[in-house]
Structure 1
Amino acid sequence: MFDAAVTQTSQAEAAPMQRALGEACVTFKHDGSKTRLDDLYQCGSAKFRLPIVYDGIPVAVLINTAGGITGGDIYKYDARVASNGHAIVTSQAAERAYRRSGGIGKIAVTLSAGEGATLEWLPQETILFNASALHRSMTVDLDETARYMALESVVLGRTAMGETIDTVSFRDSWRIRRNGKLIFADDVRLEGDTKDILKGTATTGGGLAFATLVECAADADNRLELARQALEPFTHGTNVRAAASSWNGVLVARFVATDGRALRDALMIFLETYRSAPLPRVWHC
């Protein structure tokens, strides 16, 4: 009996742990007067919610009902805006990548905007906890006349909670195409000792939070001066450093901050100034 019990316990311990799976897709169309929901699909731990808005631009709020991501979890998000539509996709709260017992958490984002459409991808920050592993990809297809704005921000631990990050596995890959032609590619890889990787001036100079904003539009080059004016409060600060550049219809702004709070405050000021519009209400919750 003792040997059988030991065998059963060992088998139970060796069994793979259940992992979170989620897939959510939302599409919008323009009916001639306003942008409306066209289709919605969701399963597993990924959900879209569409709160009531009063400015005519629909907002899709992404929710991870599992509460975070750890090794082995897989999520797929898809958002599309048809011709002449305008929609914003954001998240209910910060995404969290927790310590893993094995495997890698994966998020695959697929986005598209049709002729004359505008899509804004504005999720709240992703927080990486110690020993977490998250690999993320974003694939975007744009029409020649579409406008696309995307923000992703990453925070290494919560300094207010006294958390320290010794090691993570984080990869982020962006590919944006217009009419099938690649116009923007960006890859981030953090593997191993983050303190050592990020201490250099070529990375974050010791900063524990960073973000990238990309805008793809025909007039993106003309908006560079506006972006730099919106960044002016952070160009000489000690808590946040930021800069912007543009080329061939693509504008990019980079942010590095000492911690997540400083980065979030800077992003909210910049986005509302640069976009000339308030952020979705979930950003203020």
Structure 2
Amino acid sequence: MSQLIQTQRSKAAAPIKQGWLAKLELGFAPIANKTRLTLNKSIGPLRVQRPFHPELGAPDCCHVYLLHPPGGLVAGDTLLMNVECLEGSKVVLTTPASGKLYRSNLARQEQCQQQRFHLQDSSSLEWLPPETIIFNGAQGRLDSHFMLQGDAQLIAWEITCLGRKASDEDFDHGELMQSIKVYREQRPLLIENTRIDNAQTAANPAALAGKHVYACMLATVDKLDEQAQKQLLEELREQLACPDIGITLVRGLVILRYLGDNAETVREEFEAAWAVIRPRTLGHAAVRPRIWNT
């Protein structure tokens, strides 16, 4: 009994850690026939590499790689990112490595990553990050919100791994709250909230059914007519070999969902889907970011 009381006291007295607060504001605009990075304001350990234009078929498209030198979030850390794509800009955003939410502390402080993307009329954004790994004991909050105006176009994916199967580490305690929202002209196209608060929730057949990798890919296709949208869905179903991926069309959004145990597989399948979707919606072939080859 005394040992239990001592444990409870130690938890109650768990120190509150002062974590990193990192902010990044990016702005893009078309200048001299190319999309340029016109705003790059950062606070804390969140940066971007020098932007470049590697696509011969779309020389105006700007590729930017996000860098987070600590490599992951620990207890008390907060990452805030705001991206503004002005009218006519074309942007590809990705990162060189997977994101990580490490084990929190006894005070169960949150590790937060909040991302806001604003797309003005006639702009396009491709948000293509590698997977995010949620370590056992993490207290994560991930929010990605996309606000579209006019006929702005979006292709985005997010891949989430609970625990580290390669290291025989399950996600049996901790919490993850995840939000993905897409609006066009303040009209909601998708509002999705996910909460995983224990191993039982993850194992529930109505939740993750014991799987540890889940992912979502989004693409706006409302510029295409109804027949073209149907043809795109048919081509995606023919091209994608993974039976764990479902494809739906909702409010002008093609949505691909994966539930399984292999992050590498879902990345390969999402890349294949991107190669099909991009020419139809953005008018040029998919060009794999160079950073993925390192």
Structure 1 length-normalised TM: 0.85
Task: Quote the offset at 1:188 in angstroms.
Answer: 1.0
1:199 alignment counterpart: 203
Answer yes or no: is the 8 Å Cα contact 2:177–2:194 preserved in 1.
yes
2:191 alignment counterpart: 185
1:81 alignment counterpart: 85
Asked if 1:106 is matched to 2:109, the reply is no
Answer yes or no: is the 8 Å Cα contact 1:224–1:245 preserved in 2.
no
Asked if 1:247 is matched to 2:250, the reply is yes
Counterparts of 1:284 and 1:106, CA distance in 2:
28
Asked if 1:279 is matched to 2:288, the reply is yes
Corresponding residue SS for 1:167: coil
1:46 alignment counterpart: 46
Answer yes or no: is the 8 Å Cα contact 1:159–1:259 preserved in 2.
no
Note the 1:50-65 alignment, pairs <5 A: 50-55=50-55, 56=59, 57-65=61-69
Asked if 1:139 is matched to 2:145, the reply is yes
Task: Quote the offset at 1:15 in angstroms.
Answer: 5.4
Deviation by residue 1:167-218 (Cα, 9 ceiling, x = unmatched) = 231111122221222222111111112xx32334433333211110112242
2:175 alignment counterpart: 169
Task: Quote the offset at 1:262 in angstroms.
Answer: 2.7
Answer yes or no: is the 8 Å Cα contact 1:214–1:253 preserved in 2.
yes
Asked if 1:119 is matched to 2:125, the reply is yes
Larger displacement relative to structure 2 (253-262 or 182-191): 253-262
Distance 1:215 1:224, change over 3 A: farther
Task: Quote the offset at 1:125 in angstroms.
Answer: 0.7
Distance 1:210 1:69, change over 3 A: same
Counterparts of 2:101 and 2:207, CA distance in 1:
21
Asked if 1:264 is matched to 2:255, the reply is no
Deviation by residue 1:256-279 (Cα, 9 ceiling, x = unmatched) = 222323333333333334334133
Counterparts of 2:269 and 2:204, CA distance in 1:
22
Distance 1:233 1:183, change over 3 A: closer
Answer yes or no: is the 8 Å Cα contact 2:163–2:171 preserved in 1.
yes
Structure 2 length-normalised TM: 0.83
Distance 1:229 1:168, change over 3 A: farther
Asked if 1:215 is matched to 2:219, the reply is yes
Answer yes or no: is the 8 Å Cα contact 2:211–2:261 preserved in 1.
yes
Larger displacement relative to structure 2 (160-169 or 64-73): 160-169
Corresponding residue SS for 2:235: helix
Answer yes or no: is the 8 Å Cα contact 2:98–2:133 preserved in 1.
yes
Task: Quote the offset at 1:234 in angstroms.
Answer: 4.9
Q: Percent identity among equivalent residues?
A: 21
Counterparts of 1:46 and 1:244, CA distance in 2:
34
Distance 1:114 1:201, change over 3 A: same
Deviation by residue 1:117-143 (Cα, 9 ceiling, x = unmatched) = 101111111001101111111222211
Counterparts of 2:254 and 2:47, CA distance in 1:
30
Corresponding residue SS for 2:277: helix
Answer yes or no: is the 8 Å Cα contact 1:214–1:250 preserved in 2.
yes
Counterparts of 1:48 and 1:162, CA distance in 2:
33
Larger strand percent: 1
Task: Quote the offset at 1:20 in angstroms.
Answer: 1.3
Answer yes or no: is the 8 Å Cα contact 1:227–1:274 preserved in 2.
no
Counterparts of 1:162 and 1:176, CA distance in 2:
35
Aligned match for 2:154, one of 120, 144, 148: 148
Larger displacement relative to structure 2 (112-121 or 271-280): 271-280
Answer yes or no: is the 8 Å Cα contact 1:53–1:59 preserved in 2.
yes
Q: CA RMSD in A?
A: 2.3
Distance 1:175 1:252, change over 3 A: same
